[in-house]
Amino acid sequence: MKGMRVVVSGMGGELGTRVTNLLEAHPGVEAVMGIDLDPPRRRIPRATFHRVDPRDRRRVVPLVEGFAPTAVVHLGVYEPNARSAPATAAALTEAAAVNVLGAAARCRTLDRIVVRSGLEVYGRARGAPIRPDEHVETRPTCAFGRSLQRVEHVASAAARQAGVPAARLRLATVVGPHVPSPLGRYLRLPVVPIGAWSALPFSLLHQEDAAAACVRALETGADGALNVVGPGAVTADQAVRLGGRVPVPVIGPGWLVARMAAELFGAPLPDHVRELLVRGRCGDGARARAVLGFEPAQSTTDVVHQLYEWAEVVQLDPAHRDVA
Amino acid sequence: MSIQAGLRRRFDGTYPVDEWGLDRDLVELMSPLVGLRWATDARGVEHLSADGPAVLVFNRRFGLSEPFVLARGVRLAADRPVRFVGAPDIAPVGPALRRFGAVLGSHAEVAGLLRAGHLVGIPLERAVRHRHKAGRLPVEALAAALDAAAPVVPVALVGREVTRRWVVAVGEPLSPSGQGPLAEVELAEAVRRAVQDLLDEALPAPRWPL
């Protein structure tokens, strides 16, 4: 891995920015170019960033082709209600995959693809295993899962066209104090509606582990689907209690009320998050450990604890304005 | 674990739950109550290794007590949790049973448990009228064990629904002789026979067979 030229789509997300910073510090990376709707969340001293709507094919395609990438890290996956409304998120995800990966597949320089996917692609239909490995067929049961499945299909088609490996990283839900995520906002409500008697466990992933997995997949040139999951699991009731919040058991039509109330308080509840809270979502990360030689350092419980670690608001005394 | 500490952990959310939903704290908290219903006497637990995967094939009559008897007997004697297949994937029964070790019977779920090194209990078909007979074992039930090359351990459960005392007799593990459909059939037959032998040892032959 020497002299790599990497396109990072979705650089404006928390994961995209972190991956960019890691690649900037990587001795094998010659240049990094980013594309996204939103600007990066931290400084990017070496990378170039283009603030482009991924749906704008006329701008995206020449940018990618002109850069002559040797690798693409496609993180342009927009979670519903994270930073965009569900319909917009689905359109952005679809367009970003087709435009970025489609353009990259035409570049003769390309030798590997890494795509961000998620455990949502497996679906949680009745009878589906709660901790699937990569051999389990993908049958998504939520809109976000279907979007991710489409991204994986596009990535596989692009990889076939270019004759290169494509690592499809099926990440567990990433939450953290600085990650815009509907699950994070929902769990931080003071009173949290959860499924009464139906809460099954789910696993989470720390943003640093997610970023490290992306870089590792790029280094190794891994191929195929890989579940990247933090060790351990929690139930919704447990997560709420760990955060010192009050769980409110909800059944059936009570979810309609709970959903409306949560939205009023700034924490809309998309269907993939409700599915996770009620039906659980874990994954077998053994293949990723073997292929990438990498194990997530932070457990699911650690991620939950960190989610609730907000910096306290410090009231400044007007007499000490110079402090600010 | 004191009851007070256990209840405190439930209030704080600091109790451990694994990825299949097993809640060991709850199992321990409920153990004295469960002991009022089932008293288990486990024999031959030395056949179970301290770690690593295995499939425990057990007989059942009505199938109400047997999974819990197996899990309790092995947990108390060998300090290992047993997952038993057969949980319905419907709330509230499914999630509640998962807290005590139940899992789905699907191949993907059992294969995942074996890959992670767990003990999985798979029942023979019900033998309602004949307490001393081991039922059939569906051939596909052992597919996951063969894929994972996990040992298959016969277990005989001897007791009655209306009484409290149960004997859990664990037999010697059988290893798969290879792969393929014939190996599955042979293994299924061998393990059913081994459970029957354990039952014959534990139960005297009935004077008036029904």
> Is B21 part of a structural domain of the chain?
no
A188-197 burial by CB neighbour count: b if 16+ within 10 A, else e? bbeebbbbbe
CB count within 10 Å of CB A266 equals: 10
pLDDT of residue B209: 55
Asked if B104 and A129 come within 8 Å (Cβ–Cβ), the reply is yes
pLDDT of residue A324: 46
Collect all residues of chain A within an 8 Å Cβ-Cβ radius of residue B91. Answer: 195, 197-198, 278
**Single-letter code of the amino acid located at A98:** V
Residue with tokens 């058991």: A249
Interface check for A136 against chain B (CB to CB < 8 A): the answer is yes
Confidence of residue A165 (pLDDT cuts 50, 70, 90): very high
Q: Which of A136, A196, A284 is facing B115, going by the closest CB pair?
A: A284
Confidence of residue A177 (pLDDT cuts 50, 70, 90): confident
Collect all residues of chain A within an 8 Å Cβ-Cβ radius of residue B19. Answer: 130-131, 201, 203, 232-233, 282
pLDDT of residue B206: 61
Asked if A201 and B96 come within 8 Å (Cβ–Cβ), the reply is no
Q: Please compute the mean of the pLDDT values over residues A78-85 and round it to a whole number.
A: 94
Interface check for B96 against chain A (CB to CB < 8 A): the answer is yes
pLDDT at A222 over 50: yes
Asked if A240 and B106 come within 8 Å (Cβ–Cβ), the reply is no
Interface check for A126 against chain B (CB to CB < 8 A): the answer is yes
In whole angstroms, give the CA distance from residue A55 to residue A66. Answer: 18
Q: Please compute the mean of the pLDDT values over residues A196-208 and round it to a whole number.
A: 91
**CATH at residue B185:** 3.40.1130.10
> Is B33 part of a structural domain of the chain?
no
Q: Which residues contact A28 (CB under 8 A, 6 or more apart)?
A: A1, A2, A3, A4, A219
pLDDT of residue A319: 66
Handedness of CA A252, A171, B106, B52 (dihedral sign): negative
State the virtual CA torsion across B80, B84, B88, B91 in degrees, nearest 10. Answer: -10
Domain that holds residue B46: 39-202
Asked if B90 and A126 come within 8 Å (Cβ–Cβ), the reply is yes
What mean pLDDT value characterizes chain A? 93
pLDDT at A93 over 80: yes
Asked if A238 and B15 come within 8 Å (Cβ–Cβ), the reply is yes
Percent of chain B with pLDDT over 90: 69
pLDDT at A20 over 90: yes
Confidence of residue B205 (pLDDT cuts 50, 70, 90): low
Collect all residues of chain B within an 8 Å Cβ-Cβ radius of residue A278. Answer: 91
A169 closest CA partner among A273, A25, A294 = A294
In whole angstroms, give the CA distance from residue A148 to residue A135. Answer: 17
Q: Please compute the mean of the pLDDT values over residues A287-292 and round it to a whole number.
A: 96
Asked if A197 and B96 come within 8 Å (Cβ–Cβ), the reply is yes
Asked if A237 and B116 come within 8 Å (Cβ–Cβ), the reply is no
Confidence of residue A137 (pLDDT cuts 50, 70, 90): very high
In whole angstroms, give the CA distance from residue B15 to residue A233. Answer: 11
Note the pLDDT tens digit of each residue in A30-52. Answer: 999 999 999 999 999 999 999 99
Collect all residues of chain B within an 8 Å Cβ-Cβ radius of residue A241. Answer: 11-13
Interface check for A139 against chain B (CB to CB < 8 A): the answer is no
User: Is the omega angle on the peptide bond into residue A190 within 30 degrees of 0, that is, cis?
Assistant: no
Percent of chain B with pLDDT over 70: 96
Asked if B108 and A129 come within 8 Å (Cβ–Cβ), the reply is yes
Asked if B11 and A241 come within 8 Å (Cβ–Cβ), the reply is yes
Q: Please compute the mean of the pLDDT values over residues A291-313 and round it to a whole number.
A: 88
A130 closest CA partner among A77, A199, A80, A78 = A199
3-state DSSP: chain A helix, strand, coil percent, rounded to 5?
Answer: 40, 20, 40
* Residue in B8, B17, B98, B103 to test binding to A, most A beta-carbons within 10 Å: B17
Lowest-confidence segment of A70-84, A305-319, B44-58, B189-203 by average pLDDT: A305-319
> Is B18 part of a structural domain of the chain?
no
Lowest-confidence segment of A79-83, A182-186, B68-72, B129-133 by average pLDDT: B129-133
Number of domains in chain B: 1
pLDDT at B144 over 60: yes
CA distance B128 to chain A (A): 27
Q: Please compute the mean of the pLDDT values over residues B31-45 and round it to a whole number.
A: 94
> Is B80 part of a structural domain of the chain?
yes
> Is B195 part of a structural domain of the chain?
yes
Question: Which CATH number applies to A4-179+204-229+282-296: 3.60.10.10, 3.40.50.970, 3.40.190.10, 3.40.50.720?
Answer: 3.40.50.720
pLDDT of residue B78: 94
Q: Please compute the mean of the pLDDT values over residues A267-290 and round it to a whole number.
A: 95
Asked if B12 and A196 come within 8 Å (Cβ–Cβ), the reply is no
Asked if A199 and B106 come within 8 Å (Cβ–Cβ), the reply is no
Q: For strands B119-123 and B54-58, give the pairing.
A: parallel
pLDDT at B1 over 90: no
Q: Which of A129, A197, A242 is facing B112, going by the closest CB pair?
A: A129
Q: Please compute the mean of the pLDDT values over residues B75-79 and round it to a whole number.
A: 95
> Is B127 part of a structural domain of the chain?
yes
CA distance A312 to chain B (A): 22
> Is B123 part of a structural domain of the chain?
yes
Lowest-confidence segment of A111-120, A225-234, B140-149 by average pLDDT: B140-149
What mean pLDDT value characterizes chain B? 90
Name the pTM for this structure.
0.92
Q: Where are the domains of chain A?
A: 4-179+204-229+282-296
pLDDT of residue B175: 83
pLDDT at A312 over 80: no
Confidence of residue A199 (pLDDT cuts 50, 70, 90): confident
Asked if B13 and A240 come within 8 Å (Cβ–Cβ), the reply is yes
Collect all residues of chain B within an 8 Å Cβ-Cβ radius of residue A282. Answer: 19
Asked if A196 and B21 come within 8 Å (Cβ–Cβ), the reply is no
Q: Which of A198, A239, A286 is facing B95, going by the closest CB pair?
A: A198
Inter-chain Cβ pairs, chain A and chain B, closer than 8 A? 77
Confidence of residue B51 (pLDDT cuts 50, 70, 90): very high
Residue with tokens 């081994």: B194
